[in-house]
Structure 1
């Protein structure tokens, strides 16, 4: 499913449109934008952009802001494209979005077919990543969810016992 967001276009999109491409009526092909999973990057939209299309919103998500600014968030590994259209539906720019895993401070432990990730900043602690084994992912993210609920008052009362 394609995610389409209509917004008022303003200035630039990673790079401003060149006069030659705009005059020729051809879309500007922009450089590849690389972002890490669970990280955000701020982009500028081309002038006169009214619609943004993300090829695969499972990989990257866009959130339009004021003044032609777009926040791009890496959601899952892979690549997709981002297209800017003017109010007449003509494509004015296109770029490829590449979402990669963070390599800084992350250690992967492989036990047979099971994988676990640790964030070592500087002490190593469990950190769920896409591709971790289902058991590790479920246990670790479940603990994080329970902790988050307790911190926000949503989980006041009993805490589920850990399974052995």
Structure 2
């Protein structure tokens, strides 16, 4: 068997090692609860964030190497972070999942209603719940929030 010259052997090893270093980051799972934010550290500063489906999750840069992910609605999408040179530094399979603590789901026939029990159970908006009562609840909540913003001087009424 023919032996490689030491220079060629080192060159071959460097090429193989360089191939592994240049390959894009492997996708990792990132779970975020619905209507919750999660901080995620990156290996180096990100300049650009790309979300496959922004209706499922929102992402922003908190500081040079930390991002904040907000779960908007249930589902799965992906998140890619790029550095200033456009090189991929992170690739996540992003899953927005149900809140695991103090949540109760009531099923009446085909209809579903979700309650947050901390300590008293109150009905909460959940995209998987029956649509008719949810629409009225959203309208009431939006009106209440608008009145509070106007009273605080943050609404469009001032």
Using the size of structure 1 for normalisation, the TM-score is 0.71
- Offset of 1:110 from its aligned partner? 1.7
Larger fraction in helix: 2
Within the candidate set 111, 127, 132, 1:130 is matched to 127
CA RMSD of aligned residues (A): 2.3
Measured at CA, do residues 67 and 123 of structure 1 come closer, stay the same or move farther in structure 2, by a change above 3 Å? same
C-alpha separation in 2, matches of 1:79 and 1:149: 31
What SS does the aligned partner of 1:58 have? Answer: coil
C-alpha separation in 2, matches of 1:148 and 1:56: 27
- Offset of 1:120 from its aligned partner? 1.1
Q: Which blocks of at least 5 consecutive residues in structure 2 are unaligned?
A: 1-16, 152-158
- Offset of 1:50 from its aligned partner? 2.6
Measured at CA, do residues 40 and 82 of structure 1 come closer, stay the same or move farther in structure 2, by a change above 3 Å? same
What SS does the aligned partner of 2:100 have? Answer: coil
1:74 paired to 2:83:
no
Measured at CA, do residues 49 and 150 of structure 1 come closer, stay the same or move farther in structure 2, by a change above 3 Å? closer
1:109 paired to 2:73:
no
Give the equivalent residue in structure 2 for 1:31: 28
Within the candidate set 130, 139, 144, 1:142 is matched to 139
Using the size of structure 2 for normalisation, the TM-score is 0.74
Partners of 1:52 and 1:83 within 8 A in 2: yes
Within the candidate set 53, 73, 82, 2:50 is matched to 53
Q: Across the two proteins, how many residue pairs are aligned to each other? A: 135
Give the equivalent residue in structure 2 for 1:119: 116
Q: Kindly name which structure, 1 or 2, has the bigger radius of gyration based on alpha carbons.
A: 2
C-alpha separation in 2, matches of 1:26 and 1:116: 46
Measured at CA, do residues 66 and 49 of structure 1 come closer, stay the same or move farther in structure 2, by a change above 3 Å? closer
What SS does the aligned partner of 2:150 have? Answer: coil
